[in-house]
Each structure stands twice: as structure tokens, then as C-alpha cells.
Amino acid sequence: AQSVTQLDSHVSVSEGTPVLLRCNYSSSYSPSLFWYVQHPNKGLQLLLKYTSAATLVKGINGFEAEFKKSETSFHLTKPSAHMSDAAEYFCVVSGYSSASKIIFGSGTRLSIRP
């Protein structure tokens, strides 16, 4: 069975400081992992994805994530937060061809303080 846990429901950082959004997964096989972002009143947009290639994945808008199998983690980071990064972020695990096996985390709301 697969599952994904986003460890923080809300993260608040100051503009210009690093961002860390934590995600742990559970999977009985090699998963594909994703981060999606949702700005207010918008749909979800893919930030980055890991599909068993390089463990450090770079995405859009300066975000990156590192797949750590030993820790079953896929944390999302950014060196310097920008006001436009304020949004909801979803960690997603997938591994089967069935759409129901795409498991979304409950989301982390990122707030940016001026």
C-alpha cells in the first residue's frame, strides 16, 4: 500500500529565507514522487517530479526536492522565499497505472512574511 504524509499543515517563513516543506511516503516498491503547487483560486500545477533518475530533482521557480530512500522522504526546498511562493503545496506518490494509486498528501500552506 502507498501513503504520503505532509508533516506540516502550515509553514510560515520570512521573505528571502529558506523554505522547507516536509513529505514522507510509504510504498512497497519504487515510487514516483511529485510536488504540486496550488495558488488561491487556481488549479494544481506540477512543480517537479522524481521517477527513479537523479535523486536531486530541480523544478520550476527555484524549487528542488531530494529523494531519500533510507528516510522515505521527499522534502521540498527553496533557498530564498519570494512573496509569490505563498500557496498550498501537495506531495504526491504514484506507482501503478491505476489513477486511484496516485495519492495526494493533505497539503502544506506556505505563508511568506514581508
Binding site for another protein (CB under 8 A): 32, 34, 36, 41-46, 49, 51, 90, 92-100, 102, 104-107
Shortest distance (Å) from residue 104 CB to another protein? 4
Q: How far lies 53's CA from each of 12, 30, 57, 67, 82, in Å?
A: 31, 11, 9, 10, 29
Instruction: Measure the CA–CA gap between 37 and 9, rounded to whole angstroms.
Output: 14
Choice between 43 and 114, CB closer to another protein: 43
CB of 78 to another protein, least distance (A): 21
Q: Least distance to another protein from the beta carbon of 109, Å? A: 11
Residue 27 CB, shortest distance to another protein, in Å, is 12
Terminal Cα-to-Cα distance of the chain (whole angstroms):
41
Smaller CB distance to another protein: residue 20 or 46? Answer: 46
The Cα–Cα gap between 67 and 51 comes to: 10
Provide DSSP, 60-90.
GGG-EEEEETTTTEEEEEESS--GGG-EEEE
- Closer residue to another protein (CB): 45 or 84: 45
Q: Is the Cβ of residue 41 or residue 114 nearer to another protein in the bound state?
A: 41
